[in-house]
Structure 1
Amino acid sequence: MTQNLVVLDMAGTTVADGGLVEQAFAAAAQRLGAAPESMIDYVRATMGESKISVFRHLFGDEERARQANLAFEEAYGALVDGRRIAETPGARRAIEELQGQGRTVVLTTGFARTTQDAILDALGWRDLVPLTLCPADAGGRGRPYPDMVLAAFLRTGVVDGVQDVVVAGDTSYDMLSGVRAGAGIVAGVLTGAHDKEQLLTHGATHVLGSVAELPGLLAAADDR
């Protein structure tokens, strides 16, 4: 079995942002008059989920959730620049190696498109892969739903079935989205929010130290 479609998460998996997500959540909460300290545990537990979904849970009211989401995106965008955003060690090389193996790589995020584009611009990654997806590109539902993985499958058309898809991410929600999409390999990486036990509990077929190990894993899988 050859896995020729690789769907990679961004923050925590291929992108290191130095804790900007938590800082932006704090700024958004404060703008709405809420105490960030009362929310941070939930924010950490749900890393990888669509941000608007997180705010719906925290604030209940749809209008306040949308206000908080906008405040978060604005705060995160203001914090993003070339000094604060970096690739996780070996991420770009891994992506290029995967493409050199003949695989199509898609980058996904729980952020809004404007924030995703700001991150790609800060890294100089706009032209690195043929497709990038955010929840709005997949009907509005982010992780743990499988929608972005399935959108990557449908839009690229490079594999015959979902069993030929690889999903890699650093959170339990990444694992759940891969499992629910039917991906043949669901790889957790230890460079982000969740630990090995959390990743395995939520469906990881493999746990890697970082995304830099993924090309070797898939090359070995091709040889079986």
Structure 2
Amino acid sequence: MNHDTNHDIRLVVLDMAGTTVADGGLVERAFTTALGSDPDHLAHVRATMGESKISVFRHLYGDEIAAQRANAAFEQAYGNLVADGLVTPLPGAREAIERITEQGRTVVLTTGFARVTQDALLDALGWRGLAALTLCPADAGGRGRPYPDMVLEAFVRTKAAEDVSQVAVVGDTSYDVLSGVRAGAGLVAGVLTGAHDARALRAAGATHVLGSVAELPGVLT
């Protein structure tokens, strides 16, 4: 997609941890705290960064009860780290969201975490009300990234765009990018502030690779 059509973007779907929020390794710390430091498990966690967390646990444990128990332990551990003040916005992220909103576009924040964890993040950052809508996998019927469900849920709920080509999806992982590609988004941008590098983001189908989300308002104009 070339830059002269970017003004058509009406809806911007942004990932949180690694994209607008500095993760600082908190996901890995929470996994280790809750579930131990099994090297194979940690390798899988790194490889699937951006995927719905419950999906990761289902893969690791192969049993729904065990997966739900592990997910609850992880969410608790991550919530504790957030409550300890260890989460911060990435430089320019809040300003970027405000600028995009001022441009007349609608911003939705998405996550692979459960709602309780997403709410803890929003509270810790003072971001309640910053975006028009916040979505977790459960809000979209339970399927997180790399499925397109959260992007399409944002499209349906906000009524901000007339066509999926007017949607921009931005994230730091190949799963974020893939969810945007699968949703038919007109602009799919990877950012280099999180889990995956430019090569992985482009391989997943990113139309743009940005240093950070702070560059996004300029790209949209």
- On whether the aligned pair clears a TM of 0.5, the verdict is yes
Counterpart residue identity of residue 35, structure 2: A
1:26 maps to what in 2? 32
Code of the residue aligned with 1:93 in structure 2: it is: E
Amino acid at match of 2:23: D
Aligned identity (percent) is 70
Tell me the number of residue pairs that the alignment of Structure 1 and Structure 2 aligns. 215
- The equivalent residue for 2:162 is 160
Which 5+ residue runs of structure 1 have no aligned equivalent? Answer: 220-224
2: CA distance, partners of 1:208 / 1:166:
13
Residue 8 of structure 1: aligned partner: 14
Cα distance in 2, alignment partners of residues 85 and 75 from structure 1: 13
Q: Is the 8 A contact 1:97 1:215 kept in 2?
A: yes
1:17 aligned onto 2:19: no
Of 85, 90, 97, the match for 1:83 = 85
Matched with 1:109 is 111
Q: CA deviation at 1:158?
A: 1.1
Partner residue in 2 for 1:172: 174
Report the TM-score, using the length of structure 1 for normalisation: 0.94
Write the distance in 2 (CA, Å) between the matches of 1:15 and 1:102.
23
1:43 partner letter: V
Q: CA deviation at 1:29?
A: 1.4
1:123 matches 2:125: yes
Whether contact under 8 Å (1:82, 1:123) holds in the other structure is no
RMSD: 0.9
Please say if 1:188 is aligned against 2:194. no
Contact kept in structure 2, 1:82 and 1:122, CA below 8 Å: no
Provide, for residues 15-73 of structure 1, a one-character-per-residue CA deviation record: whole Å limited to 9, x for no partner: 0132110011112213xxxx432211111111100000000111111111111000000
Range moving further from structure 2, 97-106 or 74-83? 74-83
1:27-46 pair list within 5 angstroms = 27-30=33-36, 35-46=37-48
Deviations 1:155-203 (A, max 9, x none): 0001111010000000000010000000000000000000000000001
Runs of 5+ in structure 2 lacking a partner?
A: none
Note if contact 1:190-1:209 (Cα within 8 Å) is conserved in structure 2.
Answer: yes
Whole-Å separation in 1 of the counterparts to 2:178 and 2:23: 23
